[in-house]
């Protein structure tokens, strides 16, 4: 935090330096030096001031405490809830919170951003087994972390809560039930240290950690191979972060773009399921990281059929 704030102050100071240089150039007696110098220094000062403003905005997102209440909930302990939670944890959490993409959620092995070559800071997904911090948190605090991206301390979590928050009340509680049931794994991950670049992305709106407050019960559509249920699954997974808000292969942020998912409209349901299970698409192309087909391929047949149905109905992309 201190390093980032010093970084921001440095950018602001350099901006002030260029203002001073612009003023000095303006006072120069030589006309050419006056105009060229003042314009150049002025532009640089403006660019740096903008950069400082955007970065400050991002640092505010990262360091100002969030004010989401802790929901008064308790995770169930039925066998059905545990099984559902385990399944969801594998598909929705293991891509990050596991060293090998499998359960238990013993903590990630690298920082967000490493895989895609962006220096976003030290952001290693923590150990979510009872060997990690969560053993001291209430169920409500864990639900708030997942759906409102808020650490127990109130600070923002750099995690895709804006997607996970679409999980139904029942599903999110099933996940918490599963987290509690995991065997203890002793593994500690370094504390989060977001970089100034991440602050810049957040300030510029290129990455987003904003979440809606949850004030009403959230229910899932009936579990069936329907467009609605497929849209529900896609809503809480990260597909849109890479494939774009409209899944048309035009993401707005710095993440590596995934292709237009309307490609699926030319595939059969079997083609789609085989692609996510085997990591090879109907044209014979092997899917490369960061497409985590190994985790998404763990969706069951009904869920994949539902996702397929929802991708089949994607409208033509709106013109920009
Ligand atoms: C894209 C990667 C990603 C996914 C997917 C993800 N997380 Fe996270 N999660 C993180 C990172 C990174 C942090 C640490 C962020 C920080 O400290 O700012 C984190 C932090 C947390 C925390 C706070 C833990 C602590 O000790 O501070 C909880 C709880 C959590 N995640 C639960 C979940 C659950 C449950 C899921 C699945 C439903 C999930 N996460 C999915 C990346 C992810
Ligand atoms: C971290 C970014 C990322 C996320 C999250 C992600 N994808 Fe992808 N996806 C990609 C990339 C990149 C490719 C292209 C991989 C390649 O061609 O080697 C891809 C390829 C695909 C393909 C194959 C397209 C083709 O023409 O071969 C499908 C289908 C797909 N993704 C579906 C999904 C679904 C459904 C989700 C959510 C459950 C999802 N992806 C989440 C990045 C991502």
Indicate which ligand has the atom closest to the C-alpha of 264: 2
pLDDT of the residue at 217: 95
Listed as ranges, residues in the chain with pLDDT below 50 are 320
Determine the distance separating the centroid of ligand 2 and the alpha carbon of 116, expressed in angstroms: 14
Indicate which ligand has the atom closest to the C-alpha of 230: 2
Distance CA 99, CA 46 (A): 44
Ligand 2 atom nearest residue 275's Cα: 29
Token pair belonging to 190: 């370094």
Token pair belonging to 226: 């329907």
Tens of pLDDT along 235-270? 999 899 889 999 999 887 888 889 999 999 999 999
How many CB atoms are located within 10 Å of the residue 81 CB?
20
Indicate which ligand has the atom closest to the C-alpha of 142: 1
Determine the distance separating the centroid of ligand 1 and the alpha carbon of 40, expressed in angstroms: 45
Residue that is written with structure tokens 């999110």 in the block: 172
Q: Which residues contact 201 (CB under 8 A, 6 or more apart)?
A: 58, 120, 207, 253, 254
pLDDT of the residue at 320: 47
Determine the distance separating the centroid of ligand 1 and the alpha carbon of 125, expressed in angstroms: 5
Within 6 A (CB) of ligand 1 lie 92-93, 95-97, 112, 123, 125-126, 128, 132-134, 142, 145-146, 151, 157-160, 164, 175, 192, 238
Determine the distance separating the centroid of ligand 1 and the alpha carbon of 126, expressed in angstroms: 7
Determine the distance separating the centroid of ligand 1 and the alpha carbon of 160, expressed in angstroms: 8
Tell me which residue has its CA closest to atom 37 in ligand 2: 239
Ligand 2 atom nearest residue 290's Cα: 1
Closest CA relative to residue 93, chosen from 83, 74, 107, 113: 107
Q: Which residues contact 147 (CB under 8 A, 6 or more apart)?
A: 161, 164, 165, 167, 172, 211, 214
Token pair belonging to 233: 């699954």
Cα angle 167-61-125, degrees, rounded to a multiple of 5 = 55
């Amino acid at each position: 935090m201190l390093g980032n704030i010093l970084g921001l102050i440095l950018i602001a100071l350099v901006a002030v330096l260029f203002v001073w240089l612009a003023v000095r150039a303006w006072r120069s007696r030589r006309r050419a030096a006056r105009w060229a110098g003042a314009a150049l220094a002025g532009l640089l000062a403006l660019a740096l001031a903008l950069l400082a403003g955007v970065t400050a905005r991002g640092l505010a997102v990262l360091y100002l405490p969030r004010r989401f209440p802790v929901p008064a909930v308790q995770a169930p302990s039925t066998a059905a809830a545990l099984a559902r939670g385990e399944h969801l944890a594998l598909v929705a959490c293991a891509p990050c919170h596991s060293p090998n993409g499998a359960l238990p959620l013993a903590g990630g092995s690298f920082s967000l951003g490493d895989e895609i070559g962006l220096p976003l800071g030290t952001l290693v997904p923590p150990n979510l087994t009872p060997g990690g911090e969560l053993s001291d948190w209430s169920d409500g605090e864990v639900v708030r972390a997942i759906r409102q991206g808020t650490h127990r301390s109130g600070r923002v979590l750099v995690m895709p809560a804006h997607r996970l928050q679409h999980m139904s009340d029942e599903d999110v509680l099933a996940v918490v039930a599963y987290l509690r049931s995991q065997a203890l794994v002793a593994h500690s991950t370094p504390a989060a240290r977001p970089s100034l670049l991440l602050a810049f992305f957040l300030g510029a709106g290129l990455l987003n950690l904003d979440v809606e407050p949850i004030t009403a019960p959230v229910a899932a559509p009936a579990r069936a191979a329907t467009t609605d249920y497929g849209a529900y699954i896609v809503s809480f997974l990260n597909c849109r972060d890479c494939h774009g808000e409209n899944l048309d292969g035009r993401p707005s942020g710095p993440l590596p773009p995934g292709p237009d998912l309307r490609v699926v409209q030319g595939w059969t349901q079997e083609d789609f399921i085989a692609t996510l299970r085997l990591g090879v698409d109907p044209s014979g192309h092997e899917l490369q990281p960061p497409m985590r087909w190994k985790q998404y391929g763990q969706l069951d047949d009904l869920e994949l059929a539902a996702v397929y149905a929802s991708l089949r109905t994607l409208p033509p992309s709106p013109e920009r």
